[in-house]
């Protein structure tokens, strides 16, 4: 009886644990810091999280289909350097178009290798991580790039502008997240992604083309990286060659914190948004409390493992793993 109730409690915790943790963090920071609950600060955090968030929702689709994408960080460097460099050479609209085409081409390579050739996604995207890093350096010749006239171009507005009082990056992040969430939760394509990730064999037997689904998931991920590069390039007005270095792991941390299983078949886009925001609020809250910026990494360590542990523990009904 008691154990049944515990299990019930556990499953509630598992299903909504991420929301509860989110609420606790917000309350904790709000209680101990004067400026944290300030509305300007809160929107600031969301705006800062927008770049990682936009990438993370794309990667969520890849992870739900049962694969990984570690190449998003290098791809972000590549796309940002490209769009900023081309902006002054051929104007903003062609620059954005060419950058998106280039990023989608990289995504299609990922999609081909993992979807069609069925290679291990971890190693493929690891190889792509270093290959794209090299491509970026070859493209820029090792130079940093920037936009000469940052005030005089509408391109900067993508990162700096606002619409009815809310910053444009938040609009982009929000609308893309809602769009992808609807795609994943209420379209046939979304259901196919869950099916492929949940049970690849069964999905093939029910007539789903696994190849197409995996390919499409990498294209979505690449497209999201392109959008993130727009925000980043426009916000900074320039770019370093290694600007996206390490993003792939922060993105994965957000996805995992949102409760998406790396085994595939479960997770939602909106929970990833919450996962990314939690990371953003932890970072911001710790800074406001006067901790050095690297303390957040220690907290993230504990939070990630605790979140996944509680999730698994609730599913198996006991805290510790049964492995001898």
Partner 1 sequence: MATLKQNKALRWLTENPIWGFCALIFVFFSLSNEFFFDVNNFQNILVQTSTIGLIALGMTLVMINGNIDLSVGAVVALAASLMVDLQSWSAFENWGNWQMLPALIVALAAGTALGALNGIIVWKTGVDAFIVTLGAMLGVRGLVFVYTEEQSFFAMNFTFSDLGMSSIGPMPALAILFLVATVLVHILLSRTVHGRNTYAVGGNREAAVNAGIRVGPHMVVNFMIVGFFAALAGVTLSSQMGASTPNLGREYELWVITAVVLGGTKLAGGAGNIIGTFGGVLAIGILRNGMNLMQVPAFYVLVIMGSILIAVLILDKQLTRKGVEALRT
Which CB sits closer to partner 1, 1 or 292? 292
Beta bridge partners of residue 166, listed in sequence order: 163
Residue 221 sits in the site that holds partner 1 (CB under 8 A): no
Alpha carbons 67 and 213: distance in angstroms, whole number: 11
Residue 118 sits in the site that holds partner 1 (CB under 8 A): yes
Which CB sits closer to partner 1, 231 or 257? 257
Stretch that binds partner 1, among 11-19, 48-56, 114-122, 151-159 (CB under 8 A): 114-122
Which CB sits closer to partner 1, 167 or 225? 225
What token pair was written down for 48? 């800062």
Scored b (16 or more CB within 10 A) or e, 130-158 reads eebbebbbebbeeeebbbeeeeebebbeb
Residue 253 sits in the site that holds partner 1 (CB under 8 A): yes
What is the Cβ-side half-sphere exposure of residue 247, based on CA atoms within 13 angstroms?
28
Stretch that binds partner 1, among 23-31, 111-119, 208-216, 270-278 (CB under 8 A): 111-119
Task: Put residue 208 in one of left, alpha, beta given phi > 0 → left and psi -120 to 50 → alpha.
Answer: beta
Stretch that binds partner 1, among 8-16, 132-140, 200-208, 220-228 (CB under 8 A): 132-140
Chosen residue from 13, 14, 26, 126 binding partner 1 by CB under 8 A: 126
Q: Pick from 55, 57, 109, 48: which is nearest to 225 by CA?
A: 55
Sites for partner 1 among residues 274-313 (CB under 8 A): 292, 294-298, 300-302, 304-305, 308-309, 312-313
Residue 323 sits in the site that holds partner 1 (CB under 8 A): yes
Residue 77 sits in the site that holds partner 1 (CB under 8 A): no
172 by DSSP, 3-state: which? helix
Which CB sits closer to partner 1, 183 or 295? 295
First-to-last C-alpha distance (Å) of the chain? 27
Which CB sits closer to partner 1, 21 or 180? 21
Alpha carbons 47 and 273: distance in angstroms, whole number: 12
The distance of Cα 300 from the centroid of its chain, to the nearest Å, equals 16
Q: Note the residues at the interface with partner 1 (CB under 8 A).
A: 113, 117-120, 122-124, 126-135, 137-138, 142, 246, 249, 252-253, 256, 262, 292, 294-298, 300-302, 304-305, 308-309, 312-313, 316, 320-324
């Amino acid at each position: 009886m008691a154990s049944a109730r515990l299990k019930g409690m556990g499953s509630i915790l598992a299903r909504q644990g991420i929301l509860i943790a989110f609420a606790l963090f917000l309350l904790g920071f709000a209680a101990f810091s004067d400026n944290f609950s300030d509305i300007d600060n809160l929107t600031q955090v969301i705006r800062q999280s927008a770049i990682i968030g936009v990438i993370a929702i794309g990667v969520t689709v890849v992870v739900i289909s049962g694969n990984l994408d570690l190449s998003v960080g290098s791809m972000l460097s590549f796309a940002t350097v490209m769009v900023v460099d081309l902006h002054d050479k051929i104007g903003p609209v062609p620059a954005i178009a060419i950058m998106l085409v280039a990023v989608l081409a990289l995504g299609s390579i990922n999609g081909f290798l993992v979807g069609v050739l069925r290679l291990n996604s971890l190693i493929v995207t690891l190889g792509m991580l270093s290959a794209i890093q090299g491509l970026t350096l070859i493209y820029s010749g090792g130079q940093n790039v920037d936009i000469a006239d940052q005030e005089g171009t509408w391109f900067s507005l993508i990162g700096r502008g606002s619409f009815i009082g809310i910053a444009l990056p938040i609009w982009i992040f929000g609308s893309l997240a809602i769009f992808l969430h609807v795609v994943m939760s209420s379209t046939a394509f979304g259901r196919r992604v869950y099916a492929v990730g949940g049970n690849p064999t069964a999905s093939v037997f029910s007539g789903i083309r696994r190849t197409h689904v995996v390919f499409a998931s990498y294209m979505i991920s690449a497209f999201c990286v392109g959008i993130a590069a727009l925000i980043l390039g426009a916000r900074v007005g320039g770019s370093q060659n290694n600007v996206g270095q390490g993003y792939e792991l922060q993105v994965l941390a957000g996805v995992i914190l949102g409760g998406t299983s790396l085994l595939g078949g479960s997770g939602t886009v909106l929970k990833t948004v919450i996962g990314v925001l939690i990371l953003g609020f932890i970072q911001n809250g710790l800074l406001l409390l006067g901790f050095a910026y690297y303390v957040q990494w220690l907290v993230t360590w504990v939070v990630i493992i605790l979140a996944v542990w509680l999730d698994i523990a609730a599913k198996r009904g006991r805290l510790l793993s049964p492995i001898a």
